[in-house]
Amino acid sequence: MSDSADHRSMSELFTDAINQFSKLVRNEIALARAELASKVSAAAVGIAMLGAAACLLIAAKVVLLLALAAWLSELGLSDPLANLAAGVLAVLISAGLAYFGIKRLNPENLAPQRTIEQVQRDVTAVKEHV
């Protein structure tokens, strides 16, 4: 430290502290914005996956249900039982697609973890210096 820094007035020290705190807050806000933008992108991918799954599922369900029901009927199952079995399989496939889409939208995955950790480190550092 230079001699001039050692002889600063209380108001200068206070002003420097306020300026540093202000800069810290601005940096934390910038970090939070960047991390939240990343999380929004992840959420958008999850939503897009759910939308794509829903669109593809409609066509796939119709074709698979018809084919499966016809095959089960040829194997000797009654038509209603064949249709029921085909429908259950379609529901299971839909549930799997929805599960993976919803998993991407989990609030824990979308929380800005790096920003939270950085703010906690900053709070600890400020407490140590006070």
> Number of structural domains, the chain?
1
**Residue 12: inside a domain, yes or no?**
no
**Residue 5: inside a domain, yes or no?**
no
pLDDT of 74 strictly over 90: yes
Going from the C-alpha of 130 to that of each of 52, 58, 106, 127, the distances in angstroms are 54, 62, 38, 5
pLDDT of 1 strictly over 80: no
At 33 the pLDDT is: 85
At 96 the pLDDT is: 92
At 130 the pLDDT is: 63
- Mean pLDDT on 71-76: 92
**Residue 104: inside a domain, yes or no?**
yes
At 95 the pLDDT is: 92
pLDDT (tens digit per residue) in 12-62: 888 888 888 888 888 888 888 888 888 888 888 889 999 998 888 788 778
Full residue range of the structural domain in which residue 111 is found: 17-123
